[in-house]
Every structure is written in C-alpha cells, then in structure tokens.
C-alpha cells in the first residue's frame, strides 16, 4: 500500500508556512500556530490519526464503507464530517469521498486521491486574503466545506446550459439522440441530488449541535452553509422539473411533427383516390395507347415506378420524415 501524501499549512495573522511532510507525526509538530491544516491523500491514514490524536469514536469505520452517506458526527472533543467532492470527467460525473476533522486548532482533510477543490482556500491563506488569517480553525472548516458546496454550482450551471441548448434543438428537429441526452442529464441531476441532499441534515446538525466548536460568528457561518446547500437543492429540483418538461416537449414536438406528416400524406392520398378509382374502372383499356405497342414500354414503366419511389423516399428523408 502506498504511503499517504501529507501537506501541512499552518498560519497566524502575521505568519504562514506550507510544506510537505513524510509522516503524520511530523504533520502534528506545528501546534504553536493558531491554525494548522493537514491534508492527507489516502484513507488508509485514518486509523493512525485516531491513535495519534486520541480520536475516541469511529471515524475509520464511518469512512471505510464504500457507500457511506455524507454525515456529521459530533464528539465531545472533535467534529467529524464526511462528504463528497464531485468532478466532471469524459465518462460523466464522478465523486470522491472526503473526510474532515476539527479538533482544537487542527483541521485535517483526508481524500481518496490527489486533486481537490480546495485551491481557492489555499490561495486565500497564502496571500492573507479574506478572513482566513484573522480567524481560527472553525472558520477554516467552514471555508473548506463551502469550497466543496461551491464546486457543485458550476457543474449544475453547465447542466442547465445543456438543457437550454437541448430545448432549442428539440423545437427545431427532435430525434432519438436528443432524448438520450435528456435522459443522461436526468441521471446527472439525480446523481447530484443524491450527493447533496444528505448534507442538508448533516449541516443542520453541525449548526445546532456543534455550537461549542464555533467561536463568535462561527455559528452564523454554519447557518450560511446550511442555506447554501438548501439553495443548491432548490436549483436541482428546478432542473429535475425542467428535464421532465424536456421529455414531454420532445414527445409533444414529435407528435406534432408526425401529425404534420400524416396531414401531408393524407392530402396526397386524397388527390390520388379519384384518379385510382377512374383507372380501376376503365382499366386503361383504350385502343389508342402508344405505349401498348412500344417494345420498351414494360421496362420503361418499371423504371418509372422505381424512379418515383426513390424520389419520394429521398424527399421524405430530406424533410426529416424518415
């Protein structure tokens, strides 16, 4: 098993340091800073963290389940948060389990693999922007959670823009490929909803039961985080309804187009009904028909019928009826 990659960021109002360390013991040697953030890649490090920090509870069992749901657990001396970061890949949406631990002046983030959504937080700390340097570990936890929730928004916005594009294409020319794309977007919306919805209860619990871990305006920040999740879920609910409307629009447009085709073909059939009737009655048995004694009359008639059929098929295909 590969050893976890560990990065430490420690800071105060006037000082800052960031470095990679070889082991967890080294990562915990910066207690003189008011706030210390330890980022670990690899969930195999959690059992060792439990021992080093005396984390009495069960964070390793909570985070080791493959289908663990996002949740918050409040312990007497620390807070454990489990949630998912979401990424867009060529194969669709993927999510990565992420654990966060708040204890005293220490915040620990544990990820499954390299790469995350925390770069804005890192840059804010490094440059001394915002409230990072002025506030403690409770604000850092809020900022990290807000970064995860904030990353959901551009993904949801791209889903919205794709649905707006599909709406125009459906009205112009509905086809089976568009219906498949709509169903794909519906799956993405349900995927996002399943990922985000448990956070509503988790952050409510963090806001109501974790008051002892948040100083000053910390509780207010947690309330903002809870409201942010509620807003994101409202957007997702609107998208879900829009996706259902797009399916209805697709079938409605397809039905309207089919009715137009049937109307045109009905007109054509109606024109030829009396002509067919007259031909059936007389049988085209006239004495003076030049084609009757033409040597190539029969093959010419067959070629004419074939040409008419091919022309009609080409016309129908051009009009999008086939």
Q: Are residues 207 and 121 in the same domain?
A: yes
- Token couple for 281: 């009655």
The listed range with the strongest mean pLDDT (53-67, 164-178, 251-265, 273-287) is: 164-178
52 in a structural domain: yes
- Is 204 among the domain residues? yes
Query: Domain check: are 313 and 179 in the same one?
Result: no
Number of domains forming the structure of the chain = 2
Give the three-class secondary structure for 110: strand
For residue 96, list its beta bridge partners.
Answer: 85
Contact 163, 243 (CB under 8 A): yes
Query: pLDDT confidence of 277, banded at 50, 70, 90?
Result: low
- The predicted structure's pLDDT at residue 59: 62
Q: What is the pLDDT of residue 108?
A: 92
Q: Long-range pairs for 86-95 at CB < 8 Å and ≥24 separation? A: 86/151, 86/152, 86/155, 86/192, 86/195, 87/115, 88/155, 88/158, 92/184, 92/187, 92/188, 93/155, 93/188, 93/191, 93/192, 95/191, 95/195
What pLDDT is recorded for position 260?
77
Q: Considering only 64-73, 117-126, 140-149, 222-231, which range has the smallest mean pLDDT?
A: 64-73
Question: Do 217 and 304 share a domain, yes or no?
Answer: no
Tokens matching residue 64: 């080791």
Q: Is the residue at 200 inside a domain?
A: yes
Average pLDDT of the residues of the chain: 83
Q: Quick check: 60 and 46 in contact, CB under 8 A?
A: yes
With bands split at pLDDT 50, 70 and 90, how would you rate the model's confidence at 75?
A: confident
Q: Which domain holds residue 320?
A: 286-322
* In contact, 149 and 232? CB cutoff 8 Å: yes
Q: Please indicate, yes or no, whether residues 88 and 170 belong to a single structural domain of this protein.
A: yes
- Number of helices (H) and strands (E), helices first, in the chain? 8, 7
User: Which of the listed ranges 120-134, 222-236, 288-302 does the model predict with the highest average pLDDT?
Assistant: 222-236
Separation between Cα atoms, residue 187 and residue 143, nearest integer Å: 29
Measured CA to CA in angstroms, residue 117 lies from 27, 120, 121, 147, 212 at distances of 21, 8, 9, 6, 27
Residues 304 and 218 in one domain: no
Q: Do residues 322 and 316 lie in contact, with contact meaning Cβ atoms separated by under 8 Å?
A: yes
Least confident of 62-66, 124-128, 165-169, 254-258: 62-66
Min mean pLDDT across 15-24, 33-42, 289-298 is at 289-298
Q: What is the pTM of this model?
A: 0.79
């Amino acid at each position: 098993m590969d050893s976890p990659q560990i990065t430490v960021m420690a800071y105060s109002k006037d000082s800052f340091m960031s470095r990679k360390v070889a082991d967890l013991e080294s990562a915990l040697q910066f207690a003189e800073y008011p706030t210390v953030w330890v980022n670990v890649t690899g969930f195999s490090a959690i059992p060792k963290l439990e021992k080093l920090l005396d984390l009495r509870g069960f964070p390793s069992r909570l985070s080791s389940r493959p289908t663990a749901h996002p949740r918050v657990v409040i312990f007497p001396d620390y807070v454990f948060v489990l949630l998912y970061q979401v990424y867009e890949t060529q194969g669709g949406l993927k999510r990565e389990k992420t654990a966060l631990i708040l204890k005293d002046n220490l915040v620990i983030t544990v990820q499954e693999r390299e790469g995350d959504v925390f770069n804005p937080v890192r840059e804010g700390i490094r440059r001394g922007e915002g409230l990072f340097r002025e506030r403690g570990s409770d604000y850092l936890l809020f900022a990290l959670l807000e970064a995860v929730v904030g990353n959901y928004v551009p993904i949801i916005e791209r889903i919205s823009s794709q649905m707006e594009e599909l709406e125009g294409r459906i009205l112009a020319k509905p086809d089976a490929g568009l219906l498949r794309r709509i169903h794909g977007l519906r799956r993405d919306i349900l995927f996002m909803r399943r990922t985000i919805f448990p956070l509503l209860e988790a952050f409510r619990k963090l806001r109501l039961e974790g008051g002892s871990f948040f100083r000053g305006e910390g509780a207010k920040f947690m309330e903002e985080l809870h409201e942010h999740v509620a807003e994101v879920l409202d957007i997702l609910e609107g998208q879900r309804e829009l996706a259902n409307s797009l399916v209805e629009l697709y079938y409605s447009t397809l039905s309207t187009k089919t009715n137009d085709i049937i109307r045109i073909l009905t007109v054509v059939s109606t024109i030829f009904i009396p002509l067919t009737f007259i031909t059936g009655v007389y049988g085209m048995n006239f004495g003076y028909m030049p084609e009757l004694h033409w040597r190539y009359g029969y093959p010419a008639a067959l070629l004419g019928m074939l040409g008419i059929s091919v022309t009609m098929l080409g016309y129908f295909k051009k009009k999008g009826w086939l």
